[in-house]
Amino acid sequence: MVYDLIVIGGGPAGYLAAERAGEGGLSVLLIEKRFIGGVCLNEGCVPSKALLYSAKLYHGAADGAKYGITVKDIKLDHKAVIERKKKVVNTLVTGIKSKLRKLKVTVVMAEAKITGRSSEGFTVAAGGETYTGSKLLIATGSVPVTPPIPGVKEGLASGFVATNREILDWETVPEKLVIIGGGVIGLEMASYYNTAGSKVTVVEMLDKIAGPTDREISEILKANYEKAGIVFKLGCKVTGVTDGKVLYEEAGKQCEVAADKVLLSIGRRAFTEGLGLETIGVETERGKIKTDDTGLTNIAGVYATGDVNGVLMLAHTAYRETEVAVNNILGKKDHMRYNSIPSVIYTNPEVACVGENEETAKAKGIDFDVVKLSMMYSGRYVAENEGGDGIIKILINKKFKNVIGVHMIGNYSSEIIYGAAMMVETEMRVDDIKQIVFPHPSVSEIIREGIFEYKG
């Protein structure tokens, strides 16, 4: 048979494409080589949140005295945390599989390779069979960047060095954990393993952690981490990994830090190797598949969504990109906008941002004002965050008086940011936001407080 759509890759971009296309009445084949749910569900976003929630509960108990609760003999049972994580992953993966079954999506668990075209469509080989699809959606995701740093390859092979994949399954907590890269993965794992008892050192090449995050917010996060005992080596480039240590360069000087285990988290890159893209002429640029704002590649009928197009490697970006692509496949006009995609770091405290920050707004020549407010202006925040140092920053376009960016550090930020994203997406003006009723008491009210603070 000829499928209406063949989807390669069963992560957030791929499984959602299959679901949406199935809902749209198309015959769909989904091919996945490892596991349905991809990195996000199995070894990324979801399992890391399960670990971080256990760490948060631990802190709740350990810091309980501030709130009138005293707990004795608190223990983080790492093995039990990992077991629970497996249960969480299993529940969600089972849910996706059953939805795919309900939508009559055919699922093949094998490695797919595009082999060319026939008169009926694109041909894809998997598990010894050849399948044909009128349209193709490539959602093969990304893999961790493994730099040519001496010792990294050997360390990965011996298990001394881990990526996001292995670290979520460690059965024991290393005494000394060195994390290479102070980005999202590095920070989230530093947070968990520090709570679980490791002595954590983060070695970061830049002079700040959390990549493109607002500098002030990144400094507050760092101060919180340092208070918890995490050591940061900023402006330090890793030059080697040997058994038992990580070597790095600091201001031209060679230094080293002892490690029982190392996490390599210096970014991810699009995965396209061995996919057979050349057999149908799909264009790539520095390893990423080039697409337009509908997810379409240079070849009519071939789409690429999620990390593989390398635009913004986030699961929720993948969801929307895939919906845009499937809508276009179904004949509904839709296109992708990237200006209001929120980003969250699920540390404790959480960091969440959307839209322009001061640097990007300046670079674009936007005339803007910044309102900065302590989270202490929110009653709920005060009630729940003894000694909290969270802030919110709201960027407002001076000319049109609309919100162009919101940046927060403080708990529940991850759950509040979508409201801010709606404001940025709809170019909501300050006067319109003043008419919105926020639930009281809630930390979300900090946005309302910030807007009323604006006197521009």
- Contact residues: ligand NAI, CB under 6 A: 44-45, 147, 180-186, 188, 203-206, 211, 237-238, 265-268, 313-314, 343-346
Q: Which is nearer to ligand NAI, 117 or 237 (CB)?
A: 237
Cβ closest to ligand NAI, residue 267 vs residue 441:
267
CB of 454 to ligand NAI, least distance (A): 29
Output the smallest distance, CB 257 to ligand NAI, in A: 12
Q: How far is the CB of 239 from ligand NAI (least distance, A)?
A: 8
Q: Catalytic site residue 78?
A: no
- Determine the longest span between alpha carbons in the chain, in angstroms: 73
Q: For ligand NAI, which is the closer residue by CB, 150 or 229?
A: 150
Min CB(206)–ligand NAI separation in Å: 5
Residue listed under structure tokens 């996945």: 32
**What b/e readout covers 182-210, taking b as 16+ CB neighbours within 10 angstroms?**
bbbbbbbbbbbbbbbebbbbbbbbeebbb
Q: Which is nearer to ligand NAI, 206 or 428 (CB)?
A: 206
- The single residue listed with the structure tokens 């030059």 is 239
> 6 or 247: whose CB is closer to ligand NAI?
247
Catalytic entry in 316, 335, 407, 440: 440
Minimum distance from residue 40 beta carbon to ligand NAI (Å): 9
Q: Min. distance of Cβ 316 from ligand NAI in angstroms?
A: 8
Question: Cβ distance 212 to 221 under 8 Å?
Answer: no
Instruction: Name the 3-class secondary structure at 32.
Output: strand
3 state SS for 338-363 = CCCCCEEECCCCCEEEEECCHHHHHH
User: Among residues 112 and 196, whose Cβ is nearest to ligand NAI?
Assistant: 196
Among 420, 415, 447, which residue's Cα sits nearest to residue 434?
447
DSSP labels, 191-251: HHHHHHT-EEEEE-SSSSSSTTS-HHHHHHHHHHHHHTT-EEETTEEEEEEETTEEEEEET
What's the min distance (Å) between Cβ of 267 and ligand NAI? 4
**Whose Cβ is closer to ligand NAI: residue 336's or residue 345's?**
345
Residue whose CB is less far from ligand NAI, 48 or 123: 48
CA distance 455 to 382: 25
Give the C-alpha separation, 81 to 390, whole Å: 28
> Minimum distance from CB of 227 to ligand NAI (Å)?
21
CA-to-CA distance for 16 and 329, rounded, in angstroms?
14
Q: What tokens were used for 209?
A: 């952690």
User: Which residue, 16, 96, 105, is CA-closest to 323?
Assistant: 16
Residue 17 contacts residue 7 (beta carbons within 8 Å):
yes
| Nearest alpha-carbon partner for 260 in 148, 149, 162 | 162
Tell me whether residue 24 or residue 240 sits nearer to ligand NAI (CB atom).
240
For the chain, the C-alpha Rg in angstroms (whole number) is 23
Strand partners, 284: 289
Asked if residue 438 lies in contact with residue 377, where contact means CB atoms within 8 angstroms, the answer is no
Q: What's the token pair of residue 95?
A: 């849910």
Please identify the residue of the shown chain whose CB is closest to the bound ligand NAI.
183
**Helices and strands in the chain, H and E counts:** 14, 24
How far CA 289 is from CA of 10, 15, 17, 380, in Å, comes to 17, 19, 17, 45
Nearest distance from C-beta of residue 346 to ligand NAI, angstroms: 5
Q: Which residues are catalytic?
A: 440
